[in-house]
Each structure stands twice: as C-alpha cells, then as structure tokens.
Amino acid sequence: MIWIKNIHQLATLAGGQKGPRSKEAMSELGLIEDGSLLIEDGKIKAAGTTKELKEAYAAEVQDAEIIDGSGCLVTPGLIDPHTHVAFGGSREREFEMRLEGVSYMDIMNAGGGIHATARMTREATEEEIIEQTTSRLDSFLKHGVTTVEGKSGYGMDLETELKQLKVMKRLQGEHPIDLVPTFMGAHAVPPDYKGREDDFVDYIINEILPVVAEEKLAEFNDVFCEKDVYTPEQSERILIAGKELGLLPKIHADEIVSYGGAELAAKVGAVSAEHLLKASDEGIKALAEAGTIACLLPATALFLREEVAKGRQMIDEGVAVAISTDCNPGSSPTTSMPLVMNLACILMRMTPAEALTAATYNAACAIRREDSVGSLEVGKQADIAMWNVKNYQELQYLFGVNHLKTLWKKGVKVVGE
C-alpha cells in the first residue's frame, strides 16, 4: 500500500462526461487541494483530501509507504496517443535541408523522408529496433508519459510491417510503458508502386491487413490521406477493410494540404483524426457531429515551421481534442508531452486545463483506454505523475522545462527517488 498525502494540488481528471470530453467538460480537472491518493496492487484504492483518507482509511495508512506531496501537483500519467516510435535510424540531415529551404514533401518525393526511414528500418535487426525504441520510451517515461500509441508504417512490405508491430508487442511485455499498436501500412507509396497506388492498396488489403488482424498485432488502422500519397477514396477502402477485420480507424488527415481528410474521418466513424493543420471548416463541423476526436500535434507544426491546427476553434465548436508528440524521425522527433502541452497553450490558445485534459483523459479516449487510464479514479491503474510545480497552470506556464519529480506505473515507481 502506498499513501501519497499532502498533495498541494491533485488533478484527478475524474468525473465529467463519459467518453471523450468536449467544450466546458475539457476544463473539468476534478481538482482536490491538499489531496491524497491510496494505491494498492497497482490500482487507485481511494482519492480525496488528506483529511478524508486519513479518517476513512486509518488502519491502512498506518502501514502504508508514505510519500509527501507537499508543494507538488499530481496528475494522471500523461498519455501519448499518436507516435511512430518503433523505427530505425534518424534524419537530422533532412532537418538541416529543410532549414536550407527544401520542403518536407520534396524530400519525401525524392526518396528521402519516410522512404529513408523505411530503408533504415528494413535494414535494422529486430534487436536493433528494440534497443533504439527502448531508449525513446525511456525518454517518454522521464517526461511523465505512462502510455504510448505506436504505429507501423516504416516497412510498407509484409515482413517489415510485421517486424515493427512485433517489436512493439515485445516491448509491451518488457518496458514499463503500455504500448498500444496501430497498423499504418499506407504511410507512403513505396517507390516501386509509384503511379499504381491502387495496386499497393490491394496489397495492403489482401496481403497485410489479414495477417495483422489474425496475429492480433494491432488495434487500430491508420492511413496517410494526403495529396500525392493516398486519396480519400483509397484511404476509405483501407479503413473499411480494416474495420471489417476489427481494426478501428484513425486517419492522418489534412496535414499538408486541405484534402477532405477530416470529412472522411467523420464518414468512416474514425476514433480520431490526426494533425488537421489544414482541416476545412466543414471538416471541423463534421468531426464535432461524428464524435471523432481531433488528435492535434503542435510540435509537428512547429518543427515543420507550419501554422498549427485550429485547436481553439475546434474546442469552441464542440470537437473533443487530444494532443500528442507524433514522435517520429522526420516531422517531430520529440518525446516531450509536457512541451506539447505548452505548445497547445501557446500556439493553439488552448487553456492550461484543456491542454491537461487533452494529454490525459481525452488522449486515453483516442486509444480506447479510458476505462483503465487517463484519470485517477478508484479501480483505475495507478499511473501517476508528480510534478515540481504548485498547480496545473504553472505546469503549462513554466514552459520548455521538464518538471517531473516522480512517476508511478501501475503503482511501481519508475522515475524519481
């Protein structure tokens, strides 16, 4: 039993509406001043004020390991609902090229970008990818993250796609972070399929998706729906085929140009639509109506030197928003969810409370894990982050600094003394 007491501010994220939170519900943090948490068997046994728990659990707290939360903010462990974390190599030279004036898409169309990482991922052994992914996941932990979604898509052939997904499956048992796997075979058009994209779509549908579903290697199915990559029609075929096999749809939508991706996400009932930098006003309305979560990635916009998505407008219009690092070697190599929360506030005018909801409870909804993580409620996993700041506003205000003090995953301390 662990008793965390005297917490200056405990943001439980409890209550609010069931399912993804939108509008005012995104500001309901379930705050408790002088808060306290009791943890047993990796789960939350009780949450309340220090006084309440001391009285209600007098016997239990006597024998518990006591942690003093004085002066600290405590939140659920952060959740990153969109990453490409399991890949080989890195692309720092492309970063330099982009600063010299070459565009992201030009680099990719010339065989670099996603294709470069696909080559490095194909050439790397499973062990090498495990090693590199582990060090990225360690960095996520150090930034207060306890659950990470991860996509394949640097293989684009059966063997390498399965290799990436198997790496994630192995790490799920070996690393403290919970990994949620997404298949993303349609991440780019392989060079030998250029001009006959439909054939590659057929290959994904007929040869890869059935194996991924059969071997239960992924829960979600994602597509890069973008001009010069996959059209909305091709994307829809892949997403519907996945859905029939039990894989829930997600879409990289309207990242580089406005392309009807948000509209398609609503149409196919996607769990989330990602990026949305260039989403149209109609697309934003469609997401609100369909209840599709907008997963926004402000670090990607910053790193690509692009305008961010219209996060403020989306929330005002009733879209439930989650945020994520997009951790990948090309458009956002960061592992810092605290930085992403800061950027959500600074660049998208989300409030500090909305940014915290977007990185915890709504992020859990975007990967369908809201019943076990994303808030500190009785019976949920004891995934808990303690921060060296007094309150949630300060967490967003003192930006660009890692304030994590201690992190527990399923009740086990994984960061901090």
* Interface with ligand NIG (CB under 6 A), residue from 224, 230, 361, 392: 224
Tell me if 326 contacts Fe ion by CB under 5 A: yes
Residue 354: contacted member of ligand NIG, Fe ion, none (CB under 5 to 8 Å, by partner type): none
Q: Which is nearer to Fe ion, 29 or 327 (CB)?
A: 327
Q: Which does 113 bind (CB under 5 to 8 A by kind): Fe ion, ligand NIG, none?
A: ligand NIG
209 three-class SS: helix
Q: Tell me: does residue 117 bind ligand NIG (CB under 6 A).
A: yes
Tell me the window of 58-66, 128-136, 325-333, 402-410 that interacts with ligand NIG (CB under 6 A).
Answer: 325-333
Task: Candidates 2, 114, 284, 350: give the one binding ligand NIG (CB under 6 A).
Answer: 114
Q: Long-range contacts: 111-116, Cβ < 8 Å, 24+? A: 111/191, 113/188, 113/330, 114/153, 114/154, 114/187, 114/188, 114/330, 115/188, 115/190, 115/191, 116/89, 116/91
Closest approach, Cβ 22 to ligand NIG, in A, equals 24
- Indicate whether 329 belongs to the interface with ligand NIG (CB under 6 A): yes
- Here the tokens at position 164 are 């990436």
- DSSP class of residue 332 equals B
Query: Between 184 and 247, whose beta carbon lies closer to ligand NIG?
Result: 184
Query: 15's torsion region: left (phi>0), alpha (psi -120 to 50) or beta?
Result: left
Stretch that binds ligand NIG, among 110-118, 142-150, 333-341, 372-380 (CB under 6 A): 110-118
Minimum Å gap between C-beta 241 and ligand NIG is 20
Which residue among 20, 35, 113, 411 contacts ligand NIG (CB under 6 A)?
Answer: 113
Strand partners, 32: 10
- Taking every pair of C-alpha atoms in the chain, what is the biggest distance, in angstroms? 70
Task: Give the integer Cα–Cα distance in Å for 7 and 396.
Answer: 18
Query: Is residue 22 near ligand NIG by the rule CB under 6 A?
Result: no
CB of 345 to ligand NIG, least distance (A): 21
The CA distance from 256 to 99, in Å, is: 17
Instruction: Identify which of residues 178 and 222 has a Cβ nearer to ligand NIG in the complex.
Output: 222
Amino acid present at 122: R
